């Protein structure tokens, strides 16, 4: 059944986030800080590896060459401008605080956990590729693998940032579900090159999340989300 991958992924986040919330109650503050730094470094490495994988290629004679540099820059700039116009980050904040007021008596870190986890789970290559595979062929292997990873990371996230992580399952359901449902419609334009470029931009946004988690600089990754879909738009314009 189409969409089962996203449903399993959503359930894994809810289960992992709930388990992590109970762990948080008995975790001393100094342990939380160390765990957050570990998460930040791990997310940074995931972003870097995905970026390098997308941006470099091996040529026929065995040399290493770069690709998609201009598309990457254009996608990030144009997508960032669109995101600022829509102000996605502010809307995510409002949604997080709405959930907080409705479902949580503890205001500490709820919105931060919701926003951070939502972005981590949505911008990665597995979210895009897995949802497309599910919608086009019914293949759920990628999303099932992502569900395991997300469930485990939800435990860690919630152990430091609290119950807001559980509600990150909602954007994941909407985001991945929409891609799955639209996959058949956009299939003619989803070339291998377009998918690689979308994954590349997503990996760069993961690096932005890591920079924020490590308190190096606040990156408004939410407002950069439209960048992920700019390679598809660029292909439609130039083909």
- Residue pLDDT, tens place only, 225-239: 999 999 999 888 887
Tell me if residue 68 falls in helix, strand or coil.
coil
The Cβ of residue 218 has, within 10 Å, a number of other Cβ atoms equal to 10
**∠227-154-166 over CA atoms, to 5°?**
85
Contact status, residue 143 vs residue 6, Cβ threshold 8 Å: yes
pLDDT tens figures, 99-139: 878 776 655 578 888 988 999 898 877 888 889 889 888 88
Structural domains counted in the chain: 1
- Ramachandran region of residue 162, left (φ > 0), alpha (ψ -120 to 50) or beta? left
What is the rounded distance in angstroms from the CA atom of residue 96 to the CA atom of residue 77? 26
Task: Give the structural domain span for 157.
Answer: 4-238
- pTM of the shown model: 0.83
């Amino acid at each position: 059944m189409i969409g089962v991958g996203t449903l399993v992924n959503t359930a894994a986040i809810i289960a992992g986030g709930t388990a992590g919330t109970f762990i948080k109650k008995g975790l001393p503050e100094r342990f939380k800080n160390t765990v957050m730094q570990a998460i930040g470094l791990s997310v940074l490495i995931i972003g870097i590896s995905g970026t390098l994988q997308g941006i470099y290629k091996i040529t026929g004679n065995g040399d290493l060459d770069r690709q998609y540099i201009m598309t990457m820059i254009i996608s990030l700039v144009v997508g960032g401008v669109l995101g600022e116009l829509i102000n996605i980050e502010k809307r995510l904040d409002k949604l997080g605080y709405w959930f907080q007021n409705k479902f949580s008596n503890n205001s500490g870190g709820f919105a931060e956990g919701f926003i951070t986890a939502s972005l981590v789970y949505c911008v990665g290559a597995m979210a895009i590729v897995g949802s497309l595979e599910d919608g086009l062929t019914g293949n759920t292997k990628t999303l099932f693998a992502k569900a395991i990873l997300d469930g485990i990371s939800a435990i860690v996230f919630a152990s430091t940032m609290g119950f807001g992580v559980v509600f990150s399952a909602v954007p994941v359901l909407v985001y991945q579900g929409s891609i799955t449902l639209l996959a058949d419609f956009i299939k003619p334009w989803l070339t291998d090159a377009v998918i690689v470029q979308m994954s590349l931009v997503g990996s760069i946004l993961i690096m932005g999340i890591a920079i924020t988690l490590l308190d190096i600089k606040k990156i408004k990754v939410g407002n950069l989300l439209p960048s992920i879909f700019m390679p598809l738009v660029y292909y439609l314009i130039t083909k």
